[in-house]
Amino acid sequence: MKVAAIQMVSAIAREANLARAHGLLGEAAAAGAELAVLPEYFCMMGARDTDKLDLRETAGAGTVQGFLADAAREFGLWIVGGTLPLESSDRNHVFNSSLAYAPDGSCVARYDKIHLFFFDNGRERYDERRVIAPGTQPVTFELPSRDGHGWRVGLSVCYDLRFPELYRELARQGADLLLVPSAFTHTTGAAHWEVLLRARAIENLAWVVAPAQGGTHENGRRTWGQSMVVDPWGMVTAQQASGEGVVLFDIDAGRVDSARVQLPVLSHRVL
């Protein structure tokens, strides 16, 4: 199955971001992708954290959700929509939600980001807890590819990458493809992005597809980029350093099967 990890440098205006995402999804479809994954915050990188509150949507209805459903139908793609703000019970917080759409435009899965980013090195400070409510449940969904394989896809977002227990639970649920839409900062990405992605692939002997924000944004934030696809043995098979683009690769279910037979670590788990 050909997958596409879409890298963006999202701006403040939602409509401009959706227009760019549409063009990149079209590139992915034209190249033969079956699954396209957008980065975290693909639809908006606000001037302030609280901008997310103004663009929140009700689950099942809204501009961004309509865009994703329409694009899935238009391009005949499975699309995982990075993240978008969905309402929570607290008016001062939203969920940072990743939604999966089938080619018929139906939403087949929703994952609310569980682990919320906090970082303060004295020069940069980020605290997602100010406006984002944490999710509570790991989520997988079934994706039947054109070659007849049924992929079990595990959803995660950005800072989740630092918590291997989430990915082990996704693997326990049968995931052989792990998605990590992200907006890693340039500082933390340079230090940890690739090694963490490779570690999650190695630990779970699963494919990892990680689309990212990658560049200097209109709001002044600088993200690391380096969107990539990692195979079940931990090898980086495709990547893009920075700037907008589509990272494509044909992933093979047989690579998962052979890795898990040769090194059956999942069956050796004790704790």
Each domain of the chain, given as residue ranges in start order, spans 2-268
Q: 242-271: string of b/e by CB count within 10 Å (b at 16+)?
A: bebbbbbbebebebbeebbeeeeeeeeeee
Q: Is 126 exposed, middle or buried (0-12, 13-18, 19+ CB in 10 A)?
A: middle
Per-residue model confidence as pLDDT tens for the chain (271 residues): 999 999 999 999 999 999 999 999 999 999 999 999 999 999 999 999 999 999 999 999 999 999 999 999 999 999 999 999 999 999 999 999 999 999 999 999 999 999 999 999 999 999 999 999 999 999 999 999 999 999 999 999 999 999 999 999 999 999 999 999 999 999 999 999 999 999 999 999 999 999 999 999 999 999 999 999 999 999 999 999 999 999 999 999 999 999 999 999 999 999 8
Interatomic CA distance for residues 72 and 56, integer angstroms? 21
pLDDT of residue 137: 98
- Is 40 designated active site? yes
Interatomic CA distance for residues 233 and 175, integer angstroms? 15
Strands 78-80, 94-101: pairing is antiparallel
pLDDT of residue 271: 85
Interatomic CA distance for residues 101 and 116, integer angstroms? 24
Candidate list 40, 57, 128, 244, residue with the active-site label: 40
pLDDT of residue 42: 98
Who contacts 271 (Cβ-Cβ below 8 Å, separation ≥6)?
A: none
Closest CA to 152 of 13, 268, 1: 1
Who contacts 158 (Cβ-Cβ below 8 Å, separation ≥6)?
A: 40, 113, 117, 180, 181, 182, 183, 184
pLDDT of residue 235: 98
pLDDT of residue 24: 98
pTM: 0.98
Type and span of the H or E element at 177: strand 177-179
pLDDT of residue 119: 94
- Is 158 designated active site? yes
Domain range 2-268, its CATH number among 3.60.110.10, 2.40.110.10, 1.10.3720.10, 1.10.240.10: 3.60.110.10
Candidate list 27, 34, 43, 113, residue with the active-site label: 113
- Phi, psi of 95, deg, nearest 5: -85, 145
pLDDT of residue 67: 98
DSSP class of 217:
-
Q: Is 50 exposed, middle or buried (0-12, 13-18, 19+ CB in 10 A)?
A: exposed
Token representation of residue 210: 């990680």
Interatomic CA distance for residues 190 and 56, integer angstroms? 31
pLDDT of residue 120: 95
